[in-house]
Structure 1
Amino acid sequence: MTSPTPDTGHDWGLELTPRLAHFAAVARHEHVTRAAQQLGVPQSTLSRALARLEDDLGVALFARRGRTVSLTPAGHTFRVAAERALAAVEQAAESVRSDADPATGKVAFGFLHTLGWETVPGLIRAFRAEHPGVRFALVQNYGEAMLERLAAGGLDLCLTSPIPDTAELAARGLVARRLDEQRLRLVVPDDHRLAARKRVRLAEAAEEPFVTLEPGYGMRRILEALCAQAGFQPRIAFEGEEAETIRGLVAAGLGVALLPPPAVPRPGVRELTVTAPRAVREIGLAWIDGRDPEPPPVAAFRRFLLARRGTLLG
């Protein structure tokens, strides 16, 4: 057997992976015939596969005595790595099979930070009342980041706002459906000139400094669009990444904010209904278009959410 010329561009993983099970079976039995019977392949096919494996590697993996074989030192080294690789493949296969199990599978679900306090826990609790064994991998992020992760296959489903238009979704291989809408409020410090009011037009805050989420967040785009409808461009004083931090900055007198209602009242601020323009954000559910087959637990949770259109937020 001649040593092969070193080839730094050779894809050994692609070349050797199909033969690892053949090698491992012979190494385990130390007998070609018994290994062939276990694998359900002709003995001649197995012998040729082993010979080609050794030829490709340029080393002898077995010392042969008729149909009985024993591992060489190189064979022992290769066996450890081969069995580790095969075990990893088997574990991965079991994992994905388990995740797709209708009763005990897993759903990778993404949602907005502002829905994580009570909306999402309540939805999962209601779903698990009917599907108690289904597991969830939960991801909180802003809408654009979740859509990117969904398109890349890192999520099964995600809640997003605002809902991208059909062309934008199609370009990413995604589809979305509107689930509900949420009224937005103008949040002001409790000693603000507007604090005694219950309702306000957004234009009345045109001269105020705004505290808002960073560019890329859905609420930031919604704020800018609504302010444009009201005839002004918001003056951004502070930017953050989380709605309750924004409320804290408002309570400290650093500006006003346009936010969805809090899960629990926040001291130091007043939440005013915006009468004009109509200040809402749509909540949509997005998923990969045409995914076939869709894992049963994912399909079940998607049906569950779509059945609650218009009542998602209570």
Structure 2
Amino acid sequence: MELRQLQYFVKVAKKQHVTQAAEELHVAQSAVSRQIHQLEEELGVSLFVQKGRNLQLTSVGKLFLSRMETILLDLERAVTEVREFLDPEAGEIRIGFPHSLGIYLLPTVVASFRKSHPNVKFRLRQGTYNSLIRDVMKGEIDLAFISPFPDNHDHVSGHLLLQEELYAIVPQGHELAEQGTIRLEQLKDDSFVMFSEEYSLRSIVLEACDKAGFVPQIGFEGEETDTIRGLVAAGMGVSLLPEMALTEISQLQPAKVRVTDPKVTRSIGLIQRAGDRLPPVAERFQSYLVHFFSDT
């Protein structure tokens, strides 16, 4: 069994198509088909079945894929660790983040770190709360910024970095736009522009509204802070957004008002796979972040 066969198998399983897999691998289609056939002969089982123009994994093929993905990821990490051991300043950090932290926080800390480590590369992956935890657990990324920070989790661990305040945002002509502070209850009759259900900020806002004694009327839903901010500025409703998501100035700019009752915050942390040893360069970045936020 050769490494090339396993790599070709995983690629075909992901694409469900030999031609597309061959194109991404930059090899002939016949070479991919031949390696898959040899792998099936050596294992004595069929890994794929033809369904229309696509290939689908058999039940044993699905089992084999789950094992091979883990093995190939571990192999990739082993090669990376060896390269970093030879040149620890030229490694790669695979890091995930939610969209709301990609506007200001992530660029700030990456740029700061690279001032003293200019040859370190970053592979970035944006995701939702659940997808980031899943990617860390599967070993597809080394670290992930996440909010809210999971205090107790069986499969990930990490560091709480900071607590960030959420502000109410309202259209510029809103009756509360000029207020210094408000009670969240004062927005109970307004239509809310809310994050979609898979986003953790939605649950934070819903919980805050519940503490304030009302269920928000949801008029619009969105998946990015820029969209929500723009809809509010255009008069489509009100919302709550983290302070970092309101640093950028745009043509459509809502009014920002502090909420004091209840005060709404979110925790932001950095996670890794529990019990796992990070690659040296990722461990260095993790240590840098912990000190960066403790000093800020």
Q: Distance in 2 between matches of 1:202 and 1:176?
A: 32
Q: Deviations over 1:83-118 (max 9, x none)?
A: xxxxx9xx9675563366521111101112112122
Q: Distance in 2 between matches of 1:298 and 1:96?
A: 10
Q: Distance in 2 between matches of 1:278 and 1:96?
A: 44
In the TM superposition, 1:166-205 aligns within 5 A as 166=152, 169-170=153-154, 173-205=155-187
SS at match of 1:307: helix
Q: Deviations over 1:260-309 (max 9, x none)?
A: 121223444100000111111111111111113x2100110110111123
Q: State the 1:202 CA deviation.
A: 0.6
Q: State the 1:176 CA deviation.
A: 2.5
Query: Contact 2:98 / 2:128 at 8 angstroms: preserved in 1?
Result: yes
Q: Distance in 2 between matches of 1:176 and 1:228?
A: 29
Instruction: Output the amino acid matched with 2:108.
Output: G
1:128 aligned residue? 114
Consecutive unaligned residues in structure 2, runs of 5 or more: 7-40, 43-71
1:275 aligned residue? 260
Query: Contact 1:179 / 1:308 at 8 angstroms: preserved in 2?
Result: no
The alignment status of 1:156 with 2:142, answered yes or no, reads yes
SS at match of 1:232: coil
Q: Equivalent of 1:233, from 208, 215, 233? A: 215
Consecutive unaligned residues in structure 1, runs of 5 or more: 1-11, 18-55, 58-87
Query: Contact 2:84 / 2:280 at 8 angstroms: preserved in 1?
Result: no
Q: Distance in 1 between matches of 2:290 and 2:257?
A: 30
Instruction: Output the amino acid matched with 2:224.
Output: E
Q: State the 1:186 CA deviation.
A: 0.4
In the TM superposition, 1:70-109 aligns within 5 A as 97-98=82-83, 101-109=87-95
SS at match of 2:292: coil
Q: Deviations over 1:183-233 (max 9, x none)?
A: 111000001111121211111111111101101211111101111111111
Q: Distance in 1 between matches of 2:178 and 2:115?
A: 43
Instruction: Output the amino acid matched with 1:124.
Output: V
Aligned pairs, number = 225
Change (3 A) 1:120 1:240: same
In the TM superposition, 1:1-314 aligns within 5 A as 97-98=82-83, 101-166=87-152, 169-170=153-154, 173-261=155-243, 262-266=246-250, 267-292=252-277, 294-310=278-294
Q: Distance in 2 between matches of 1:205 and 1:95?
A: 52
SS at match of 1:308: helix
* Overall identity of the aligned pairs, in %: 34
Instruction: Output the amino acid matched with 1:305.
Output: L
Instruction: Output the amino acid matched with 1:174.
Output: V
Instruction: Output the amino acid matched with 1:264.
Output: E
- Max Rg structure: 1
Instruction: Output the amino acid matched with 1:200.
Output: I
With normalisation by structure 2, the TM-score equals: 0.70
Change (3 A) 1:13 1:133: closer
Q: Deviations over 1:125-172 (max 9, x none)?
A: 111122222111011222221111111111100111111231xx11xx
Query: Contact 1:177 / 1:286 at 8 angstroms: preserved in 2?
Result: yes
| Greater Cα shift, 297-306 or 134-143 | 134-143
Instruction: Output the amino acid matched with 2:259.
Output: V
Q: State the 1:13 CA deviation.
A: 6.0
With normalisation by structure 1, the TM-score equals: 0.66
After superposition, the CA RMSD in angstroms is: 2.5
Could you list the structure 1 runs, at least 4 aligned residues long, displaced by more than 2 angstroms after superposition. 91-101, 265-268, 308-311
Change (3 A) 1:137 1:238: same
Query: Contact 1:189 / 1:250 at 8 angstroms: preserved in 2?
Result: yes
Q: Distance in 1 between matches of 2:146 and 2:187?
A: 27
Instruction: Output the amino acid matched with 2:182.
Output: V
